[in-house]
Protein backbone atom coordinates (compact mmCIF):
# COMPACT_ATOMS: atom_id res chain seq x y z
CA UNK A 1 0.00 0.00 0.00
CA UNK A 2 2.81 2.37 0.88
CA UNK A 3 4.51 1.64 -2.47
CA UNK A 4 1.32 2.53 -4.34
CA UNK A 5 1.03 5.80 -2.40
CA UNK A 6 4.63 6.74 -3.14
CA UNK A 7 4.19 5.98 -6.86
CA UNK A 8 1.03 8.09 -7.00
CA UNK A 9 2.73 10.97 -5.19
CA UNK A 10 5.68 10.84 -7.60
CA UNK A 11 3.28 10.97 -10.56
CA UNK A 12 1.47 13.99 -9.09
CA UNK A 13 4.80 15.81 -8.60
CA UNK A 14 5.79 15.09 -12.21
CA UNK A 15 2.44 16.40 -13.51
CA UNK A 16 2.76 19.58 -11.43
CA UNK A 17 6.27 20.18 -12.76
CA UNK A 18 5.11 19.68 -16.36
CA UNK A 19 2.23 22.12 -15.81
CA UNK A 20 4.68 24.73 -14.52
CA UNK A 21 6.91 24.24 -17.57
CA UNK A 22 4.06 24.77 -20.00
CA UNK A 23 2.59 27.98 -18.59
CA UNK A 24 3.80 31.55 -18.87
CA UNK A 25 6.33 32.83 -16.36
CA UNK A 26 4.69 34.73 -13.50
CA UNK A 27 7.38 34.74 -10.83
CA UNK A 28 11.10 33.99 -10.91
CA UNK A 29 14.50 34.13 -9.30
CA UNK A 30 17.18 35.51 -11.63
CA UNK A 31 20.85 34.64 -11.13
CA UNK A 32 22.82 37.16 -13.21
CA UNK A 33 26.35 38.13 -12.13
CA UNK A 34 27.24 41.73 -13.01
CA UNK A 35 29.25 41.76 -16.22
CA UNK A 36 29.18 44.45 -18.89
CA UNK A 37 29.51 41.92 -21.71
CA UNK A 38 26.21 40.26 -20.76
CA UNK A 39 24.43 43.35 -19.41
CA UNK A 40 22.18 43.31 -22.50
CA UNK A 41 20.41 40.30 -20.98
CA UNK A 42 19.00 42.50 -18.19
CA UNK A 43 16.17 43.62 -20.45
CA UNK A 44 14.74 40.11 -20.11
CA UNK A 45 13.83 40.79 -16.47
CA UNK A 46 14.27 44.50 -15.63
CA UNK A 47 11.08 46.29 -14.60
CA UNK A 48 9.14 43.10 -13.98
CA UNK A 49 7.24 42.42 -10.80
CA UNK A 50 7.86 39.33 -8.66
CA UNK A 51 11.52 39.01 -9.65
CA UNK A 52 14.34 38.41 -7.16
CA UNK A 53 17.78 39.14 -8.65
CA UNK A 54 20.87 37.32 -7.36
CA UNK A 55 24.31 38.58 -8.38
CA UNK A 56 27.95 37.68 -7.63
CA UNK A 57 27.78 39.27 -4.16
CA UNK A 58 25.60 36.43 -2.90
CA UNK A 59 27.38 33.49 -1.28
CA UNK A 60 26.49 29.84 -1.83
CA UNK A 61 24.48 29.55 1.38
CA UNK A 62 22.33 32.58 0.51
CA UNK A 63 21.66 31.25 -2.99
CA UNK A 64 20.72 27.80 -1.69
CA UNK A 65 18.35 29.36 0.83
CA UNK A 66 16.69 31.58 -1.81
CA UNK A 67 16.06 28.68 -4.19
CA UNK A 68 15.26 26.15 -1.47
CA UNK A 69 12.53 28.31 0.07
CA UNK A 70 10.96 29.36 -3.25
CA UNK A 71 7.69 27.72 -4.33
CA UNK A 72 8.23 24.81 -6.74
CA UNK A 73 6.42 26.63 -9.55
CA UNK A 74 8.84 29.56 -9.40
CA UNK A 75 11.18 29.78 -12.38
CA UNK A 76 14.95 29.92 -11.79
CA UNK A 77 16.58 31.97 -14.56
CA UNK A 78 20.38 31.90 -14.93
CA UNK A 79 22.17 34.36 -17.23
CA UNK A 80 25.75 35.23 -18.14
CA UNK A 81 28.94 33.45 -19.15
CA UNK A 82 29.51 29.80 -18.45
CA UNK A 83 30.33 26.36 -19.77
CA UNK A 84 28.92 22.85 -19.56
CA UNK A 85 29.65 22.62 -15.84
CA UNK A 86 27.95 25.82 -14.72
CA UNK A 87 27.57 29.59 -14.72
CA UNK A 88 30.55 31.84 -14.02
CA UNK A 89 30.73 34.79 -11.65
CA UNK A 90 33.51 37.38 -11.54
CA UNK A 91 35.92 37.29 -8.63
CA UNK A 92 38.19 40.29 -8.25
CA UNK A 93 39.78 41.10 -11.59
CA UNK A 94 39.05 37.63 -12.96
CA UNK A 95 35.88 37.61 -15.06
CA UNK A 96 35.56 33.84 -14.62
CA UNK A 97 36.77 33.57 -11.04
CA UNK A 98 34.24 31.06 -9.75
CA UNK A 99 31.04 29.24 -10.60
CA UNK A 100 27.92 30.67 -9.04
CA UNK A 101 25.77 27.85 -10.45
CA UNK A 102 27.24 24.34 -10.57
CA UNK A 103 26.58 20.77 -9.42
CA UNK A 104 26.16 21.94 -5.81
CA UNK A 105 22.81 23.55 -6.74
CA UNK A 106 21.49 20.77 -8.96
CA UNK A 107 19.41 19.07 -6.26
CA UNK A 108 17.49 22.34 -5.79
CA UNK A 109 17.27 23.29 -9.48
CA UNK A 110 15.64 19.93 -10.29
CA UNK A 111 12.63 21.03 -8.25
CA UNK A 112 11.96 24.09 -10.46
CA UNK A 113 11.36 24.99 -14.10
CA UNK A 114 14.59 26.64 -15.25
CA UNK A 115 15.84 29.02 -17.92
CA UNK A 116 19.57 28.92 -18.61
CA UNK A 117 21.12 31.41 -21.04
CA UNK A 118 24.87 30.89 -21.20
CA UNK A 119 27.21 28.98 -23.51
CA UNK A 120 26.50 25.23 -23.37
CA UNK A 121 23.85 25.54 -20.68
CA UNK A 122 22.03 22.75 -22.56
CA UNK A 123 24.84 20.32 -21.74
CA UNK A 124 24.65 21.31 -18.08
CA UNK A 125 20.89 20.60 -18.17
CA UNK A 126 21.40 17.25 -19.90
CA UNK A 127 24.17 16.18 -17.53
CA UNK A 128 22.06 16.87 -14.45
CA UNK A 129 18.55 16.18 -15.81
CA UNK A 130 17.18 19.68 -15.35
CA UNK A 131 13.87 20.81 -16.83
CA UNK A 132 13.15 23.94 -18.81
CA UNK A 133 14.69 26.12 -21.52
CA UNK A 134 18.44 26.20 -22.14
CA UNK A 135 20.81 27.59 -24.77
CA UNK A 136 23.63 25.85 -26.53
CA UNK A 137 26.56 27.95 -27.69
CA UNK A 138 25.60 31.64 -27.89
CA UNK A 139 27.67 34.02 -30.01
CA UNK A 140 27.85 37.48 -28.41
CA UNK A 141 31.13 38.94 -29.68
CA UNK A 142 33.50 38.89 -32.64
CA UNK A 143 35.86 36.30 -31.14
CA UNK A 144 33.03 33.84 -30.61
CA UNK A 145 31.81 34.47 -34.15
CA UNK A 146 35.26 33.67 -35.53
CA UNK A 147 35.57 30.59 -33.32
CA UNK A 148 32.33 29.29 -34.85
CA UNK A 149 33.30 30.26 -38.42
CA UNK A 150 30.45 32.78 -38.75
CA UNK A 151 30.64 35.66 -41.20
CA UNK A 152 29.92 38.88 -39.29
CA UNK A 153 31.15 41.42 -41.81
CA UNK A 154 28.84 44.44 -41.71
CA UNK A 155 27.07 43.13 -38.60
CA UNK A 156 26.57 45.23 -35.46
CA UNK A 157 26.99 42.44 -32.90
CA UNK A 158 25.96 44.66 -29.98
CA UNK A 159 22.70 45.44 -31.79
CA UNK A 160 22.18 41.74 -32.47
CA UNK A 161 22.65 41.06 -28.75
CA UNK A 162 20.02 43.66 -27.87
CA UNK A 163 17.59 42.19 -30.40
CA UNK A 164 18.19 38.69 -29.06
CA UNK A 165 17.41 39.77 -25.50
CA UNK A 166 14.34 41.72 -26.65
CA UNK A 167 12.99 38.75 -28.61
CA UNK A 168 13.68 36.41 -25.72
CA UNK A 169 11.85 38.72 -23.31
CA UNK A 170 8.86 38.82 -25.68
CA UNK A 171 8.76 35.04 -25.98
CA UNK A 172 9.11 34.38 -22.26
CA UNK A 173 6.41 36.95 -21.50
CA UNK A 174 3.91 35.57 -24.00
CA UNK A 175 4.58 31.87 -24.37
CA UNK A 176 5.27 28.85 -22.14
CA UNK A 177 8.83 27.54 -22.08
CA UNK A 178 8.15 24.56 -24.32
CA UNK A 179 7.13 26.84 -27.21
CA UNK A 180 9.95 29.37 -26.97
CA UNK A 181 12.48 27.60 -29.26
CA UNK A 182 9.99 27.49 -32.13
CA UNK A 183 8.68 31.02 -31.59
CA UNK A 184 12.21 32.47 -31.34
CA UNK A 185 12.97 31.09 -34.79
CA UNK A 186 9.77 32.64 -36.13
CA UNK A 187 10.19 36.15 -34.70
CA UNK A 188 13.43 36.96 -36.52
CA UNK A 189 12.81 40.12 -38.55
CA UNK A 190 15.74 39.28 -40.83
CA UNK A 191 18.30 36.54 -41.25
CA UNK A 192 22.05 36.75 -40.57
CA UNK A 193 24.66 34.09 -39.76
CA UNK A 194 24.87 35.10 -36.09
CA UNK A 195 21.11 35.45 -35.61
CA UNK A 196 20.47 32.12 -37.31
CA UNK A 197 23.09 30.47 -35.12
CA UNK A 198 21.80 31.90 -31.82
CA UNK A 199 18.09 31.59 -32.53
CA UNK A 200 18.50 27.93 -33.45
CA UNK A 201 20.57 27.15 -30.38
CA UNK A 202 17.67 26.71 -27.94
CA UNK A 203 16.64 23.48 -26.24
CA UNK A 204 13.65 22.53 -24.12
CA UNK A 205 13.72 19.63 -21.65
CA UNK A 206 10.68 18.25 -19.88
Residue 82: which H helix or E strand, with range? strand 82-83
Which bin fits 10, alpha (ψ -120 to 50), beta or left (φ > 0)?
alpha
Q: Residues 20-73: pLDDT tens digits?
A: 454 566 789 999 999 889 999 999 999 999 999 999 999 999 999 999 999 999
CA atoms within 13 A on the CB side of 183: 16
Residue 206: count other Cβ atoms within 10 Å of its Cβ: 12
> Residue 73's pLDDT is what?
95
Closest by alpha carbon to 43, among 142, 171, 141, 145? 171
- CATH number of 27-205, picked from 3.10.129, 3.40.1000, 3.40.50, 1.10.10: 3.40.50
Q: Mean per-residue pLDDT for 72-96?
A: 89
Question: Strands across the sheet with 94-101, in order?
Answer: 82-83, 86-91, 94-101
Q: What is the DSSP letter of 16?
A: H
Strand bridging mode 202-205 / 132-135: antiparallel
pLDDT band at 114 (very low <50, low <70, confident <90, very high): very high
pLDDT in tens, 138-172: 999 999 999 999 998 888 999 999 999 999 999 99
- Residue ranges of the domains in the chain? 27-205
Choose between 110 and 191: higher pLDDT: 110
83 strand-pairing partners: 86
- Cα distance between residue 79 and residue 201, in whole Å: 15
The yes-or-no verdict on residue 9 having pLDDT over 90 is no
* Prediction pTM value: 0.86
Position 186 confidence tier, pLDDT thresholds 50, 70, 90:
very high
Amino acid sequence: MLLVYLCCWQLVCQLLTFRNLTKNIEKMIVIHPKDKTTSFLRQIYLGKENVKVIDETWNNRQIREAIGTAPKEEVIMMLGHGYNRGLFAPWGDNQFGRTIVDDRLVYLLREHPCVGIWCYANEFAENYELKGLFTGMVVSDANEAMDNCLDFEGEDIELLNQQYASDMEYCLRNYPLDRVPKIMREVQDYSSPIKDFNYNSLYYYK
